[in-house]
Amino acid sequence: MRPILMKGHERPLTFLKYNREGDLLFSCAKDHNPTVWFADNGERLGTYRGHNGAVWCCDVSRDSMRLITGSADQTAKLWNVQSGTYLFTFNFESPARSVDFSVGDKLAVITTDPFMGHTSAIHVKRIARDPADQTSESVHILKKPQGRINRAVWGPLNETIISAGEDSIIRIWDSETGKLLKESDIEIGHKKAITSLVKSSDGSHFLTGSHDKSAKLWDIRTLTLIKTYLTERPVNAVTMSPLLDHVVLGGGQDASAVTTTDHRAGKFEAKFYDKILQEEIGGVKGHFGPINALAFNPDGKSFSSGGEDGYVRLHHFDPDYFHIKI
């Protein structure tokens, strides 16, 4: 396949997200402007100007009208996707790391980092239909002294919130009461910081990637460990195909560690694994730096990867991808 290279960001990529219909791709990077691209040919549609710090995460509403972004400038902003203007700013006391819209887009979960005496927290905010009515009050603030929370998502039917972070434990919270319902088992769980988390397209299971060079597949309701995928590099980003039973892992070491440990320096690849057999199918090379973001198009026919090199690579699969057998 011939990947389409998009160099819109000057700094490393942090997050990639497709909208529900799969025609728009949102990219966040350490430069302050999230960008939206057309997902078929990679043409840039626009950038969202307004943040003053690295943008860590974003989410788009189901109707592709609203975009929410979390940034290191201690704010999360709501944007009008079409016009590029921001509608509302949520202010926090520490950098906002992860954002996620609930099903129905009426609520959003925003996590903040531990910073200057504040512990990390999970904020649940109400999102108003009409941006004029938007207030910044939180429905809940869940605080528990943990490390940095790298990712928090809504569980099925918005009943739960799932968080994962630097302390390598996955926690499930009740979204109504704020109580901690479950924690992942330390023995079988990740051994190092969890860097990424992605839900399956039907929401029944989710995949976490960690610096302990593995990714694990969990059941979303019971938090039982289903599968483990092993790799040689710390995993920075994970995604799952909505069409086939594939999971994709992306990662790599920091530039400082590369020359001393990796003889194939510079050839960073996104590794495809069979979801059920846990075996590696293949890898897609091309990035010049560790891969920090991965996303699958909801139609399953293309995927994109963002790297430390600032490039977004959009891959449309060849027909024989759909016939891969191990």
Partner 1 sequence: MTVLNANGSAPAMPPSKLRWGELEDDGEDLDFLLPPRQVIGPDENGVKRAVEYKFGDDGNKIKITTTTRVRKLAKARLSKSAVERRNWAKFGDAVHEDVGSRLTMVSTEEILLESPRALGSKAEESKIAGDNLAQLGKGAVLMVCRTCGKKGDHWTSRCPYKDLAPPTDAFVDKPPMSETVVPGPGGATKPAYVPPSMRAGADRIVGADMRRRNDENSVRVTNLSEDTREPDLLELFRTFGPVSRVYVAIDQKTGVSRGFGFVNFVNKEDAERAINKLNGYGYDNLILRVEWATPRPS
Whichever of 4 and 153 has its CB closer to partner 1, that residue is 4
Assess 5 for contact with partner 1 (CB under 8 A). yes
Enumerate helices (H) and strands (E) in the chain, giving the number of each.
1, 28
Stretch that binds partner 1, among 37-45, 100-108, 124-132, 201-209 (CB under 8 A): 37-45
| Count of CB atoms situated within 10 Å of the CB of 300 | 18
Q: Please name the amino acid found at residue 166.
A: E
Whichever of 93 and 245 has its CB closer to partner 1, that residue is 245
Task: Kindly determine how many residues on this chain lie close enough to bind partner 1 according to the rule CB under 8 A.
Answer: 50
Assess 10 for contact with partner 1 (CB under 8 A). no
User: Cβ of residue 133: shortest distance to partner 1, in angstroms?
Assistant: 24
Assess 27 for contact with partner 1 (CB under 8 A). no
Q: Which of 15, 48, 154, 268 binds partner 1 (CB under 8 A)?
A: 48
Spatial CA neighbour of 46 closest among 34, 28, 31, 60? 34
Assess 267 for contact with partner 1 (CB under 8 A). no
Assess 262 for contact with partner 1 (CB under 8 A). no
Residue 95 CA: distances (Å) to CA of 24, 55, 180, 193, 212:
26, 10, 23, 18, 25
- Report the SS3 class of residue 255: helix
Assess 235 for contact with partner 1 (CB under 8 A). no
Q: Which of 104, 156, 266, 282 binds partner 1 (CB under 8 A)?
A: 282
To 10 degrees, the CA torsion angle through 43, 12, 292, 184?
Answer: -130
Binding mask 61-100 for partner 1 (x = CB under 8 A): --xx-----------------xxx----------------
State the SS3 of 174-195: ECCCCCEEEECCCCCCCCCCEE
User: Cβ of residue 58: shortest distance to partner 1, in angstroms?
Assistant: 14
Assess 1 for contact with partner 1 (CB under 8 A). yes
Q: DSSP letter for 129, please.
A: S
Whichever of 1 and 141 has its CB closer to partner 1, that residue is 1
Q: Which of 161, 272, 275, 307 binds partner 1 (CB under 8 A)?
A: 272
User: Cβ of residue 326: shortest distance to partner 1, in angstroms?
Assistant: 9
Q: DSSP letter for 321, please.
A: G
Whichever of 178 and 283 has its CB closer to partner 1, that residue is 283
Q: Which of 42, 95, 252, 307 binds partner 1 (CB under 8 A)?
A: 42
User: Cβ of residue 315: shortest distance to partner 1, in angstroms?
Assistant: 7
Residue 176 CA: distances (Å) to CA of 83, 99, 100, 142, 271:
34, 18, 16, 11, 38
Side-chain half-sphere of 98: how many Cα atoms within 13 Å? 24
Q: Please name the amino acid found at residue 174.
A: D
Assess 47 for contact with partner 1 (CB under 8 A). yes
Assess 302 for contact with partner 1 (CB under 8 A). yes
Q: Which of 255, 285, 288, 322 binds partner 1 (CB under 8 A)?
A: 285
Spatial CA neighbour of 121 closest among 112, 131, 129, 130? 112
CA distance 182 to 174: 9
Tokens of 44: 């840039």
CA distance 154 to 70: 16
User: Cβ of residue 4: shortest distance to partner 1, in angstroms?
Assistant: 5
Binding site for partner 1 (CB under 8 A): 1-8, 21-24, 33, 35, 37-49, 63-64, 82-84, 269, 271-272, 280-286, 299, 301-302, 313, 315-316, 321, 324
